[in-house]
Amino acid sequence: MLLSTKHLIDTEFLTLEDIALILDTAKSFEEVNRRTIKKLPTLRGRTVVSLFMEPSTRTKSSFEIAARRLSADIQGFSASSSSTVKGESLVDTAKTLNAMACDAVIVRAKAAGTPAVLARTMDAHIINGGDGKHRHPTQALLDAYALRKHLGFEGLAGFEGLKVGIVGDVAHSRVVGSLAPLLARLGCQVTLIAPPTLMPARPEVLGCSYTPYLDEVLPQLDVVYMLRIQLERLEDAPLPSLREYAMLYGIDRARMQAMKPGAVIMHPGPVNRGVELASEAVDTSKNLILDQVNAGVSIRMAVLYLLLGGDENVTAA
């Protein structure tokens, strides 16, 4: 184990040294991911369980690709194919997996706090792949990585003073719970921008300023980080309509023109086209959306490698 923590439950439990090490290790793996043969023997003989109890395209597939590229054995479980559908409790499922002596479990769950419960119940390293509307640490790390790469700096000092607006469904987003405090800790000036009905009751706990007025702050931002409207988690109709939301908070051609020269759009995906981003904003080189996806494989290789403590020569063939 090369990090200061056994599990990756959230970015808040990582030291700045851990964060720098994860980003730098991901950079080594990015070079591997450009090779024709993208496989290293580093985690040969280790068993990684992928326990996804909520839908996922990016996190699940990039973790599974990452584990295979490090030669780990990966076993997938989904909510529909596991015994949780027969009523088995989370703790009993965790004890069952523990009895199979797996080395790491990547978990995505509807309920906030599930990864922490597994960490208390299992011997394996637990990696949070997104829990409810709580936290999504590897998304935050890959976002930091993609931004650092785009801006072309090494280390962490280049984050200092960057103006980042995180826009949209702050109340229901697990991404913001990990990303906003991480960027604030790295020295970014983070502003949360959302209609009052999509802002959490106490946004100040995320360590950022906040406002409902996107157009007032947009021209000052270096990074416009758009959150997906979490349609599956909305209760009590917090929006009059998606059309009105898009008019007030969506990035369209006019808002792209209002952005600071050189500013970039980011989005964790999946995008609701025409809601938080108009098609022009999805299909423009001003956004880093696919760079974020690309960074996901290298970051998740780095997290697996650093937690499972593989071979020190990470790029050896």
User: Which of 5, 28, 56, 98 touches ligand CP by CB under 6 A?
Assistant: 56
Kindly compute the dihedral angle of the four CA atoms of residues 152, 157, 161, 167, in this order, to the nearest 10 degrees.
60
If one asks whether residue 76 binds ligand CP (CB under 6 A), the answer comes out as no
Q: Which is nearer to ligand CP, 232 or 236 (CB)?
A: 232
Which span (54-62, 96-104, 163-171, 280-288) binds ligand CP, by CB under 6 A?
Answer: 54-62
If one asks whether residue 11 binds ligand CP (CB under 6 A), the answer comes out as no
Collapsed DSSP state (helix, strand, coil) of residue 224: strand
| Residue that has been written with the tokens 């300023």 in this structure | 209
Q: Which is nearer to ligand CP, 42 or 139 (CB)?
A: 139
If one asks whether residue 287 binds ligand CP (CB under 6 A), the answer comes out as no
User: Which of 115, 130, 168, 250 touches ligand CP by CB under 6 A?
Assistant: 130
In one-letter notation, the amino acid at residue 85 is V
Taking the complex as a whole, the smallest distance from the CB of residue 149 to ligand CP amounts, in Å, to: 18
Kindly compute the dihedral angle of the four CA atoms of residues 226, 231, 237, 243, in this order, to the nearest 10 degrees.
60
If one asks whether residue 59 binds ligand CP (CB under 6 A), the answer comes out as yes
Which span (52-60, 119-127, 145-153, 300-308) binds ligand CP, by CB under 6 A?
Answer: 52-60
What secondary structure, in 3-state letters, does 233-281 show?
Answer: HCCCCCCCCHHHHHHHHCECHHHHHHCCCCCEEECCCCCCECCCECHHH
Q: Which is nearer to ligand CP, 58 or 125 (CB)?
A: 58
If one asks whether residue 269 binds ligand CP (CB under 6 A), the answer comes out as yes
CB atoms within 10 A of CB 166: 26
CA nearest 180: which of 194, 172, 191? 191
Taking the complex as a whole, the smallest distance from the CB of residue 109 to ligand CP amounts, in Å, to: 12
Report how far residue 296's alpha carbon sits from residue 137's, in angstroms, rounded to the nearest whole number.
Answer: 11
If one asks whether residue 57 binds ligand CP (CB under 6 A), the answer comes out as yes
Site residues for ligand CP per CB under 6 A:
56-59, 130, 139, 268-270
